[in-house]
Structure 1
Amino acid sequence: MPIENIPEIYIKNKKENPDLFVYDFKMTNDVVKSKVNLDMNMFSFLQVGKKQVHFAGTSVVVNKDQSLLLKKGNWLWTELLDTEAIYYCKLFFFSERKLQEFLDKHTTNEGIVKEEKPFFIIRNDAYITSYLNSLSTISEAPKVFMDNLLSVKFEELMLYLLQKYGSAFELYLHSLIIKETSPFKKIVESKIHSNLKLEEISFLCNMSLSTFKRHFISEYKTSPGKWLQDKRLQKAKETLEHGALKPSDIYLDFGYNNLSNFSIAFKNKFGYSPSEIAL
């Protein structure tokens, strides 16, 4: 899976380095999974479809009733069609310079950022719908006016969200300025119960697969494949013991392509098949 440098791949004039940039993303495939090197902080206004994103220490799923503000960095994201035949998402990128200007102008206290999250979930409402329509309207404006118009629209949006979410949003904005990277173990252990492959987890750690494996063995004294399999099978066993789900309901969630492979691995570890738990 190639790495997509965003928003660079969307900018026609590669000599430009805009502080603000809007792009309409559409697709008609059922599922698209991407490795993304996000070079600017970004609003993702999902209008049709569903979106799942994994960052270094966490993941989130949203539908068309929600939008996301995403921190720049390495992401894995999956776009899914809903009931419509097209997936549509309006992306609004902004630089740290623009963010700092806004914070200097409209906030007075950085506060204490207790927990740095790479995303902020925004509940779509009538204002957001109207706002997105206005962004579409100004997209036809001459280039000479566009930069100023986008500056006004960016400030308008940020002020609205500051009013709507208060200190939680303000603290999140300040956290985007803080230069911190998540520790290796935090990233790995946050993905224990996902169905991500090793190559995808290594990408989130900003490492090649070979470097990731060496680092993992140094940290955990065992191979990443065996360690993750053991952790995921243990969690699968606990899930089945609750009685609400069957093996056929969960094998994909724990990284297995088919039920047979899951059952074999499960029996090799615990000495009995997963279907026996439900009996």
Structure 2
Amino acid sequence: MPRSTGALPATYLVPYTTALSSVRTKVTMRYHLFSFLLEGEKVVTYPTATKRITPGQFLLLPAGNCLTSEKLTGADDTYRSVLLFFSDEALTSFFTKYPDLKPGEGTAPVNYPFQVFEPDGFLTNFVQSLTLLLSAGPELSLGFQQLKLEELLLYVSQQQPAALQLLRASVHEVAENQRIRAVVEAELPVPITVEELAFLCHMSLSTFKRRFARLYGTPPNKWLTQQRLAIAAQLLRQGTLKASDVYDQAGYESMSSFIHSFKQVYGLTPKKFQMQHAS
């Protein structure tokens, strides 16, 4: 599977053929994916849904972890599909190019982790065009692949606009996560409050707390405390400052609150910690 790195393009079109069946293979997708099934059967399992796919149908799978099973069918026992991978960057370019595109309401369940499309005239011709382009060679240019992706996304915007809304939301969440990481991992003044971090991230306090906890696996207040105490422990190990001089640099307003927090995490008072660990 392509990985979303600078070494690979934003859009990635590949044919896929196998003569081996597979059962519940663990897949981590760093790209979003349109999967067009030509021969065989496919079962996809995300955390909240499982679906069996038959030839002619196609899938829109968001980036993330899933389980996939592939079953051979037909006279020649072959599994065939065409895969169109696309990154968050490709999605951002699409939504930037079509700023007035309104996803609106659609038939796709908004909480469903992926979408299944039934074959119709457009999709049949679209897949045929992909297979012809892949078989003609040479390798498709990145611009051509991006145009085919745009064509398909515009089709989705008409047929299942709610599915496009899910993609738009995923891009927005990625952008928010990148903003949070950039802010909290930068050189920031000590002390700094959670409210100030939320402001720097251009988010409400409740949104920031929710996004932060999902991203770092801990509430921002707890994370800030851990960062302050890590700074204090590093200063104490260096041995050039007394414990009574460290608390201010670690962002504590009083020595008593610093001692209390430090002992909860390290099991020792700052002074005893320094005596045991100073280099």
- 2:105 aligned with 1:146: no
Shift of 1:138: 2.5
Q: What is the CA–CA distance in structure 1 between the aligned matches of 2:118 and 2:172, rounded to whole Å?
A: 25
What is the CA–CA distance in structure 1 between the aligned matches of 2:38 and 2:21, rounded to whole Å? 16
Structure 2 counterpart of 1:35: 26
Deviates more, 1:71-80 or 1:130-139: 130-139
The aligned residue for residue 255 of structure 2 is none
Please list the CA deviations of residues 12-54 of structure 1 after superposition, one character each: whole Å capped at 9, or x if unmatched: xx98311011111111224444111111000010111111111
Aligned to 1:21: 12
1:103 and 2:95 matched: yes
1:129 is aligned to 124
Aligned-pair Cα RMSD in Å: 2.8
Counterpart AA for 1:40: Y
Which residue number in structure 1 is paired with residue 71 of structure 2?
80
CA spacing shift, 1:174–1:116, aligned 2, 3 Å: farther
CA separation of 1:177 and 1:45: change in aligned 2, threshold 3 A: same
Distance 2:105 2:53 in 1: 27
Question: Matches of 1:107 and 1:120 in 2, distance apart?
Answer: 23
Alpha-carbon distance between aligned partners in 1 of 2:155 and 2:103, rounded to the nearest angstrom: 19
Task: Report how far residue 105 of structure 1 moved.
Answer: 2.7
Find the aligned partners of 2:171 and 2:27 in 1 and give their Cα distance: 20
Deviations 1:170-216 (A, max 9, x none): 32322332438xxxxxxxxxxxxxxxxxxxxxxxxxxxxxxxxxxxx
Give 5+ residue unaligned stretches, structure 2: 175-279
Give the Cα–Cα distance (whole angstroms) in 1 for the partners of residues 111 and 99 of structure 2.
Answer: 18
Counterparts of 1:164 and 1:141, CA distance in 2: 31
Amino acid at match of 2:62: K
- Equivalent pairs, count: 169
Indicate the residue corresponding to 2:164 in structure 1.
170
1:59 equivalenced with 2:54 (yes/no): no
Query: What residue is the counterpart of 1:90 in the other structure?
Result: 82
Structure of larger gyration radius: 2
CA distance in structure 1 between the aligned counterparts of 2:23 and 2:132, rounded to whole angstroms: 28
Question: What amino acid is the match of 2:20?
Answer: N
SS of alignment partner, residue 179 of structure 1:
helix
Query: Cα distance, 1:90 vs. partner?
Result: 0.7
Quick one: which amino acid aligns to residue 112 of structure 2?
K
**Residues 46, 63 of structure 1: 8 Å contact kept:** yes
The CA deviation string for residues 82-128 of structure 1, in whole angstroms up to 9 with x for no partner, is 33410111110001111122123325357699944321111122221
- Corresponding letter in the other structure for 1:35: K
For the Cα contact (< 8 Å) 1:117–1:172, is it kept in 2? no
Structure 2 distance, partners of 1:172, 1:107, is 16
What's the % identity of the aligned pairs? 27
Q: Distance in 2 between matches of 1:141 and 1:110?
A: 35
Output the amino acid matched with 2:171. Answer: I
**Cα offset, 1:142, TM superposition:** 4.1
Structure 1: unaligned runs, 5 residues or longer: 1-5, 181-279
CA distance in 1 between counterparts of 2:114 and 2:171 reads 13
